[in-house]
Amino acid sequence: EAKVPEEAKKLVAEKEKAIKDGSFTVEINDAEPKSS
């Protein structure tokens, strides 16, 4: 068992819930990366 603070576990659980219910979305950029 990793030593993860209870506070961090709560934040992760909340974020997971938001992602699953669709209230949190990550913007995905499908543009081709520019080569330098």
pLDDT digits (tens, 9 = 90+) for 1-36: 678 889 999 999 998 998 889 887 778 778 887 877
pLDDT at 1: 61
pTM as predicted = 0.50
SS (H, E, C) the chain: CCCCCHHHHHHHHHHHHHHHHCCCCCCCCCCCCCCC
User: CA 13, CA 5: separation in Å to the nearest integer?
Assistant: 13
Is the CB of residue 15 less than 8 Å from the CB of residue 24? yes
